[in-house]
């Protein structure tokens, strides 16, 4: 005769939350295999995979949050912003230039540029409001695509018609940044 039980992890609720996220707002098509103590997630568009160990002491919501964070690191698509930034002139070089006959303004003017790449992960999409959420170093930015549906934009990224660099440029030119 059963006198009682204690449920520490509701797998049905966990799977429902996971399915809801991946079917409604994930920025890629995924296949996942749910094991007893881990989950394997594969991006079917580009083949990237991640295995996440489930924490039995954490709630279902916390486990889903951990899985999404791991997917953000490796599985979700990336957009890249490439730009040039002037290389600062060191003080010794400024002194050498000034003593060589240049004015201070001319001596402090950088002559070299460095190329900088910023990677933005697409962490969420909104099909109903045609938005893309980008994440860079913990900061999230929401863009609304103005001319094409968000699914078409992701298809162009996945098929290679847009590189991560050209995809970012397209999003900036043809998207509106939301104040979210």
The string of DSSP letters for 145-159 reads ESSS-HHHHHHHHHH
pLDDT at 111 over 70: yes
Whole-model pTM: value is 0.76
Q: Which two tokens stand for residue 177?
A: 């940044």
What pLDDT is attached to residue 52?
93
* CA end-to-end span of the chain: 55
CA 12/CA 164 separation, integer angstroms? 37
Averaged pLDDT, 108-131: 89
Per-residue confidence (pLDDT) for residue 46, from 0 to 100: 81
Domain residue spans of the chain: 11-74, 78-82+120-177, 83-114
Residue of 86, 88, 106 lying closest to 97 (CA atoms): 106
CA 72 vs. chain centroid, Å, equals: 6
pLDDT value for 179: 58
Instruction: Tell me the pLDDT tens digit for each residue of 142-175.
Output: 999 999 999 999 999 988 899 999 999 999 999 9
| Proportion of the chain above pLDDT 90, given as a percent | 42
| Among the listed residues 85, 55, 82, the one whose alpha carbon sits nearest the alpha carbon of residue 67 | 55
What are 36-57's pLDDT values in tens digits? 889 999 988 888 899 999 888 8
């Amino acid at each position: 005769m059963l006198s009682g039980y204690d449920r520490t992890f509701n797998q049905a609720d966990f799977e429902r939350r996971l399915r809801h996220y991946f079917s409604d707002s994930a920025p890629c098509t995924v296949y996942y295999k749910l094991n007893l103590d881990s989950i394997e997630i594969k991006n079917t568009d580009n083949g990237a995979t991640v295995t996440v160990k489930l924490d039995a002491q954490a709630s279902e919501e916390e486990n889903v949050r951990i899985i999404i964070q791991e997917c953000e690191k490796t599985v979700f698509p990336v957009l890249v912003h490439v730009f040039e930034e002037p290389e600062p002139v060191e003080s010794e070089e400024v002194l050498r230039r000034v003593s060589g006959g240049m004015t201070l303004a001319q001596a402090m003017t950088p002559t070299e540029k460095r190329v900088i790449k910023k990677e933005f992960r697409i962490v969420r999409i909104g099909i109903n409001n045609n938005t893309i959420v980008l994440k860079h170093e913990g900061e999230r930015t929401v863009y609304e695509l103005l001319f094409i549906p968000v699914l078409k934009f992701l298809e162009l990224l996945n098929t290679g018609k847009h590189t991560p660099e050209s995809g970012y440029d397209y999003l900036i030119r043809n998207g509106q940044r939301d104040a979210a």
